Chain A
Amino acid sequence: MERQEILDGLLEVLRTVRTIDPARLEGVTEETDFLTDLNTPSTELINIAAKVEHKFGIEFEDDDIDHMGSKVKDIIDLILAVEERGKNA
Protein backbone atom coordinates (compact mmCIF):
# COMPACT_ATOMS: atom_id res chain seq x y z
CA MET A 1 0.00 0.00 0.00
CA GLU A 2 1.26 3.48 -0.85
CA ARG A 3 1.75 6.08 1.87
CA GLN A 4 -0.87 8.42 0.37
CA GLU A 5 -3.40 5.61 0.33
CA ILE A 6 -2.69 4.92 4.00
CA LEU A 7 -2.94 8.62 4.84
CA ASP A 8 -6.34 8.79 3.14
CA GLY A 9 -7.52 5.75 5.09
CA LEU A 10 -6.15 7.20 8.30
CA LEU A 11 -8.06 10.42 7.72
CA GLU A 12 -11.24 8.40 7.33
CA VAL A 13 -10.52 6.82 10.70
CA LEU A 14 -9.77 10.17 12.33
CA ARG A 15 -13.07 11.62 11.14
CA THR A 16 -14.79 9.04 13.36
CA VAL A 17 -12.85 10.01 16.47
CA ARG A 18 -15.06 12.07 18.74
CA THR A 19 -12.22 13.93 20.45
CA ILE A 20 -10.72 15.26 17.23
CA ASP A 21 -12.12 18.49 15.84
CA PRO A 22 -12.90 17.76 12.15
CA ALA A 23 -11.77 21.28 11.26
CA ARG A 24 -8.25 20.39 12.39
CA LEU A 25 -8.12 17.54 9.87
CA GLU A 26 -7.92 19.99 6.98
CA GLY A 27 -4.34 20.12 5.80
CA VAL A 28 -3.09 17.15 7.80
CA THR A 29 0.32 15.98 6.59
CA GLU A 30 2.67 13.23 7.67
CA GLU A 31 4.33 15.73 10.00
CA THR A 32 1.11 16.47 11.86
CA ASP A 33 1.36 15.51 15.52
CA PHE A 34 -1.72 14.01 17.14
CA LEU A 35 -0.93 15.44 20.54
CA THR A 36 0.27 18.95 19.72
CA ASP A 37 -1.41 19.71 16.38
CA LEU A 38 -4.71 17.83 16.69
CA ASN A 39 -5.02 18.19 20.48
CA THR A 40 -5.80 14.50 20.74
CA PRO A 41 -5.74 13.21 24.33
CA SER A 42 -2.85 10.74 24.67
CA THR A 43 -5.34 8.19 25.98
CA GLU A 44 -7.17 8.36 22.65
CA LEU A 45 -4.19 7.03 20.69
CA ILE A 46 -4.98 3.46 21.71
CA ASN A 47 -8.54 3.81 20.51
CA ILE A 48 -7.25 5.22 17.23
CA ALA A 49 -4.85 2.28 16.94
CA ALA A 50 -7.75 -0.14 17.41
CA LYS A 51 -9.71 1.58 14.64
CA VAL A 52 -6.63 1.54 12.40
CA GLU A 53 -6.28 -2.22 12.93
CA HIS A 54 -9.86 -2.70 11.82
CA LYS A 55 -9.58 -0.31 8.87
CA PHE A 56 -6.41 -1.83 7.44
CA GLY A 57 -6.96 -5.45 8.48
CA ILE A 58 -3.73 -5.65 10.45
CA GLU A 59 -2.83 -6.57 14.02
CA PHE A 60 -0.53 -4.59 16.28
CA GLU A 61 1.56 -6.19 19.00
CA ASP A 62 2.00 -4.76 22.51
CA ASP A 63 5.47 -3.62 21.53
CA ASP A 64 4.14 -1.72 18.49
CA ILE A 65 1.79 0.26 20.69
CA ASP A 66 4.37 0.85 23.42
CA HIS A 67 6.72 2.50 20.97
CA MET A 68 4.24 4.15 18.66
CA GLY A 69 5.09 7.78 17.98
CA SER A 70 2.55 10.58 17.98
CA LYS A 71 3.00 11.87 14.43
CA VAL A 72 0.94 10.80 11.44
CA LYS A 73 4.08 9.52 9.74
CA ASP A 74 4.79 7.30 12.76
CA ILE A 75 1.42 5.59 12.33
CA ILE A 76 1.97 5.20 8.58
CA ASP A 77 5.44 3.73 9.20
CA LEU A 78 3.95 1.34 11.73
CA ILE A 79 1.19 0.20 9.37
CA LEU A 80 3.77 -0.48 6.66
CA ALA A 81 6.03 -2.32 9.11
CA VAL A 82 3.17 -4.50 10.34
CA GLU A 83 2.12 -5.24 6.76
CA GLU A 84 5.69 -6.27 5.97
CA ARG A 85 5.82 -8.41 9.09
CA GLY A 86 2.64 -10.14 7.97
CA LYS A 87 4.17 -10.96 4.57
CA ASN A 88 7.24 -12.47 6.20
CA ALA A 89 5.32 -14.48 8.78
Chain B
Amino acid sequence: MTEETGEQLSGRINNGNLVGLNPARVMLHGPTKLLVDTYYWHSPNKGIVAGYAPTERDVEDHFGVFRGVDQIEAFALASIVSCGSFLECRKLKCLPDGLKEKFVPAFVSIGQVNFHYYLELGDRFISIANIKSYKWRQMVCDGRIYKAPKDLDLNAYFADFTEERLLNYDISKDFKLVAELFDITGRAILIELFKKNEE
Protein backbone atom coordinates (compact mmCIF):
# COMPACT_ATOMS: atom_id res chain seq x y z
CA MET B 1 0.00 0.00 0.00
CA THR B 2 1.63 3.26 -1.08
CA GLU B 3 0.92 6.60 0.52
CA GLU B 4 -0.97 8.81 -1.88
CA THR B 5 -0.42 12.53 -2.28
CA GLY B 6 -3.30 14.88 -1.52
CA GLU B 7 -3.88 15.32 -5.23
CA GLN B 8 -4.05 11.58 -5.83
CA LEU B 9 -6.40 11.15 -2.89
CA SER B 10 -8.60 13.95 -4.16
CA GLY B 11 -8.78 12.25 -7.56
CA ARG B 12 -9.68 8.96 -5.91
CA ILE B 13 -12.46 10.60 -3.89
CA ASN B 14 -13.96 12.37 -6.89
CA ASN B 15 -13.69 9.57 -9.42
CA GLY B 16 -12.81 6.34 -7.67
CA ASN B 17 -13.29 4.35 -4.52
CA LEU B 18 -11.47 3.26 -1.38
CA VAL B 19 -9.91 0.05 -2.68
CA GLY B 20 -6.18 0.01 -2.08
CA LEU B 21 -6.16 3.07 0.17
CA ASN B 22 -4.70 2.85 3.67
CA PRO B 23 -7.73 3.14 6.02
CA ALA B 24 -5.70 5.40 8.30
CA ARG B 25 -5.98 8.07 5.59
CA VAL B 26 -9.76 8.09 5.92
CA MET B 27 -10.43 7.72 9.62
CA LEU B 28 -9.66 9.72 12.72
CA HIS B 29 -9.20 6.65 14.86
CA GLY B 30 -5.69 6.06 16.16
CA PRO B 31 -3.68 2.91 15.54
CA THR B 32 -4.95 0.98 18.57
CA LYS B 33 -8.59 1.72 17.71
CA LEU B 34 -8.42 1.27 13.97
CA LEU B 35 -10.03 -2.10 13.32
CA VAL B 36 -9.87 -2.03 9.52
CA ASP B 37 -6.66 -2.62 7.61
CA THR B 38 -7.74 -3.28 4.01
CA TYR B 39 -10.48 -2.19 1.64
CA TYR B 40 -11.19 -5.01 -0.82
CA TRP B 41 -14.19 -3.69 -2.68
CA HIS B 42 -16.14 -0.43 -2.57
CA SER B 43 -19.01 1.10 -4.47
CA PRO B 44 -19.48 4.60 -2.99
CA ASN B 45 -23.28 4.65 -2.94
CA LYS B 46 -23.88 0.95 -2.38
CA GLY B 47 -21.44 -0.56 0.09
CA ILE B 48 -18.07 -1.97 0.94
CA VAL B 49 -16.03 -5.06 1.73
CA ALA B 50 -13.23 -4.38 4.20
CA GLY B 51 -10.98 -6.59 6.30
CA TYR B 52 -9.00 -6.88 9.49
CA ALA B 53 -7.13 -9.49 11.52
CA PRO B 54 -7.19 -9.15 15.34
CA THR B 55 -3.80 -8.46 16.94
CA GLU B 56 -2.40 -9.55 20.31
CA ARG B 57 -3.67 -6.34 21.82
CA ASP B 58 -7.16 -6.85 20.41
CA VAL B 59 -7.60 -10.20 22.17
CA GLU B 60 -5.63 -9.46 25.34
CA ASP B 61 -7.45 -10.43 28.57
CA HIS B 62 -10.31 -11.89 26.57
CA PHE B 63 -9.54 -15.60 26.14
CA GLY B 64 -7.64 -14.94 22.95
CA VAL B 65 -10.94 -14.07 21.31
CA PHE B 66 -11.89 -10.85 19.50
CA ARG B 67 -14.73 -9.28 21.46
CA GLY B 68 -18.24 -9.02 20.06
CA VAL B 69 -18.35 -5.29 20.74
CA ASP B 70 -15.14 -4.91 18.78
CA GLN B 71 -16.73 -6.80 15.90
CA ILE B 72 -19.50 -4.21 15.91
CA GLU B 73 -16.93 -1.41 16.07
CA ALA B 74 -14.91 -2.98 13.24
CA PHE B 75 -18.05 -3.25 11.14
CA ALA B 76 -18.98 0.37 11.91
CA LEU B 77 -15.51 1.60 10.96
CA ALA B 78 -15.61 -0.40 7.74
CA SER B 79 -19.08 0.77 6.82
CA ILE B 80 -20.60 3.96 8.22
CA VAL B 81 -17.29 5.68 9.01
CA SER B 82 -15.37 4.75 5.87
CA CYS B 83 -18.24 5.06 3.42
CA GLY B 84 -19.71 8.13 5.13
CA SER B 85 -16.37 9.93 5.20
CA PHE B 86 -15.78 9.13 1.55
CA LEU B 87 -19.16 10.49 0.45
CA GLU B 88 -18.88 13.59 2.61
CA CYS B 89 -15.41 14.36 1.22
CA ARG B 90 -16.82 14.01 -2.27
CA LYS B 91 -19.74 16.30 -1.44
CA LEU B 92 -17.64 18.96 0.30
CA LYS B 93 -14.77 18.58 -2.19
CA CYS B 94 -12.26 18.12 0.59
CA LEU B 95 -9.84 15.51 1.93
CA PRO B 96 -10.49 13.45 5.07
CA ASP B 97 -8.25 15.79 7.05
CA GLY B 98 -10.74 18.55 6.25
CA LEU B 99 -13.53 16.53 7.85
CA LYS B 100 -11.52 16.08 11.02
CA GLU B 101 -11.56 19.83 11.55
CA LYS B 102 -15.35 20.04 11.28
CA PHE B 103 -16.97 16.83 12.46
CA VAL B 104 -16.98 14.19 15.15
CA PRO B 105 -18.01 10.70 14.00
CA ALA B 106 -20.66 9.43 16.39
CA PHE B 107 -22.48 6.16 16.85
CA VAL B 108 -26.22 6.88 16.75
CA SER B 109 -27.78 3.47 17.19
CA ILE B 110 -27.29 -0.24 16.71
CA GLY B 111 -30.14 -2.43 15.57
CA GLN B 112 -30.05 -6.16 15.99
CA VAL B 113 -26.80 -8.11 16.02
CA ASN B 114 -26.68 -11.90 15.86
CA PHE B 115 -23.39 -13.64 16.57
CA HIS B 116 -22.80 -17.03 14.98
CA TYR B 117 -19.11 -17.74 15.46
CA TYR B 118 -15.95 -16.27 16.97
CA LEU B 119 -12.66 -14.80 15.81
CA GLU B 120 -9.24 -15.47 17.30
CA LEU B 121 -5.86 -13.81 17.12
CA GLY B 122 -4.78 -13.59 13.50
CA ASP B 123 -8.08 -14.72 11.98
CA ARG B 124 -8.69 -12.53 8.98
CA PHE B 125 -12.29 -11.42 8.71
CA ILE B 126 -14.26 -9.31 6.28
CA SER B 127 -17.11 -6.91 6.90
CA ILE B 128 -19.60 -6.81 4.05
CA ALA B 129 -21.81 -3.76 4.38
CA ASN B 130 -24.60 -2.36 2.28
CA ILE B 131 -25.70 1.23 2.65
CA LYS B 132 -29.42 1.44 3.43
CA SER B 133 -29.56 5.21 3.64
CA TYR B 134 -27.36 8.28 3.74
CA LYS B 135 -28.86 11.64 4.52
CA TRP B 136 -27.75 14.67 6.50
CA ARG B 137 -24.41 12.98 7.19
CA GLN B 138 -26.17 10.06 8.84
CA MET B 139 -25.58 6.61 7.39
CA VAL B 140 -27.41 3.35 8.09
CA CYS B 141 -25.85 0.03 7.08
CA ASP B 142 -26.76 -3.64 7.28
CA GLY B 143 -24.22 -6.36 6.75
CA ARG B 144 -22.32 -9.39 7.85
CA ILE B 145 -18.94 -10.37 9.17
CA TYR B 146 -17.29 -13.51 7.80
CA LYS B 147 -14.10 -15.29 8.78
CA ALA B 148 -12.05 -15.54 5.62
CA PRO B 149 -10.51 -18.81 4.44
CA LYS B 150 -6.81 -19.13 5.24
CA ASP B 151 -4.46 -18.34 2.36
CA LEU B 152 -7.17 -16.92 0.09
CA ASP B 153 -6.03 -13.85 -1.82
CA LEU B 154 -8.88 -11.55 -0.85
CA ASN B 155 -7.79 -8.73 -3.16
CA ALA B 156 -8.02 -11.08 -6.11
CA TYR B 157 -11.21 -12.70 -4.86
CA PHE B 158 -13.09 -9.40 -4.60
CA ALA B 159 -11.58 -7.80 -7.70
CA ASP B 160 -14.66 -8.60 -9.77
CA PHE B 161 -17.23 -8.40 -6.98
CA THR B 162 -20.52 -6.69 -7.85
CA GLU B 163 -23.31 -4.77 -6.16
CA GLU B 164 -25.70 -7.63 -6.81
CA ARG B 165 -23.36 -10.09 -5.09
CA LEU B 166 -22.95 -7.66 -2.20
CA LEU B 167 -26.69 -7.47 -1.61
CA ASN B 168 -27.00 -11.26 -1.77
CA TYR B 169 -23.88 -11.99 0.30
CA ASP B 170 -22.87 -14.09 -2.64
CA ILE B 171 -19.47 -15.36 -1.56
CA SER B 172 -17.83 -18.77 -1.35
CA LYS B 173 -19.09 -21.19 1.28
CA ASP B 174 -15.51 -21.29 2.51
CA PHE B 175 -16.21 -17.98 4.28
CA LYS B 176 -17.66 -18.70 7.73
CA LEU B 177 -20.48 -16.47 8.97
CA VAL B 178 -19.48 -14.75 12.22
CA ALA B 179 -22.12 -12.07 12.70
CA GLU B 180 -25.16 -10.44 11.12
CA LEU B 181 -25.65 -6.75 11.82
CA PHE B 182 -28.73 -4.63 11.19
CA ASP B 183 -29.29 -0.87 11.22
CA ILE B 184 -25.83 0.15 12.27
CA THR B 185 -26.21 3.92 12.32
CA GLY B 186 -23.71 6.73 12.66
CA ARG B 187 -23.57 10.43 12.00
CA ALA B 188 -20.91 13.06 11.54
CA ILE B 189 -21.80 15.73 14.08
CA LEU B 190 -20.52 19.28 13.81
CA ILE B 191 -17.78 19.77 16.39
CA GLU B 192 -19.35 23.05 17.53
CA LEU B 193 -22.64 21.27 18.30
CA PHE B 194 -20.86 18.37 19.97
CA LYS B 195 -19.08 20.75 22.32
CA LYS B 196 -22.27 22.74 22.90
CA ASN B 197 -23.94 19.57 24.15
CA GLU B 198 -21.12 19.10 26.64
CA GLU B 199 -21.77 22.51 28.23
Decide if A65 touches B136 in the complex (CB within 8 Å): yes
Interface string of B123-148 (1 = CB under 8 A from A): 00000000000011110000000000
B108 and A62 contacting across the interface, CB-CB below 8 Å: no
* A76 interface contact, C-beta 8 A: no
Number of A-B contacts (CB under 8 A): 16
- Residues of chain A in range 23-40 having any CB-CB distance to chain B below 8 Å: none
- Closest-by-CB residue of B relative to A49 is B136
Category for how many chain A residues contact B: under 10
A residues in contact with B193, CB < 8 Å: 66
Residues of A within 8 A of B136 (CB): 46, 49, 60, 62, 65-66
Whether B138 pairs with A46 at a CB distance below 8 angstroms is yes
Distance A62 CA – B87 CA, assembled complex (angstroms): 14
Partner of B190 from the list A43, A46, A49, A66 (CB cut-off 8 Å) is: A66
Chain A residues, CB < 8 A from B190:
66
B-contact 0/1 string along A31-62, CB 8 Å cutoff? 00000000000010010011000000000101
Count B interface residues, CB 8 Å.
Answer: 10
- Interface majority SS (helix, strand, loop, mixed), chain A: helix
Judge whether B137 and A43 touch: CB under 8 Å: no
Interchain CB contact under 8 A, A43 and B135: no
Of all chain B residues, which has the CB nearest A62? B136
Q: How far is the CA of A49 from the CA of B190 in the complex (A)?
A: 18
B14 within 8 A of A: no
Q: Is B109 an interface residue (CB 8 A)?
A: yes
The residue in chain A whose Cβ has the minimal distance to the Cβ of B136 is A65
Contact with A along B160-199 (1 / 0, CB 8 A): 0000000000000000000000000101001001000000
Shortest CB distance A54–B (Å): 12
A76–B136 CA distance with the chains assembled, in angstroms: 19
Which A residues are CB-close (under 8 A) to B109?
Answer: 43
Residues of A within 8 A of B138 (CB): 46
**A43 contacts which chain B residues (CB < 8 A)?**
108-109, 185
CA A18 to CA B190, docked complex, whole Å: 27
Q: Give 1 or 0 for each of B100-113: 1 = CB within 8 Å of chain A CB.
A: 00000000110000
Q: Report the bound CA distance from A28 to B190 in whole Å.
A: 30
CB B159 to nearest CB in A, in angstroms, measures 35
- Lowest 6 CB-CB distances: which A-B pairs, in order? A65-B136, A43-B108, A62-B136, A43-B109, A66-B190, A46-B138
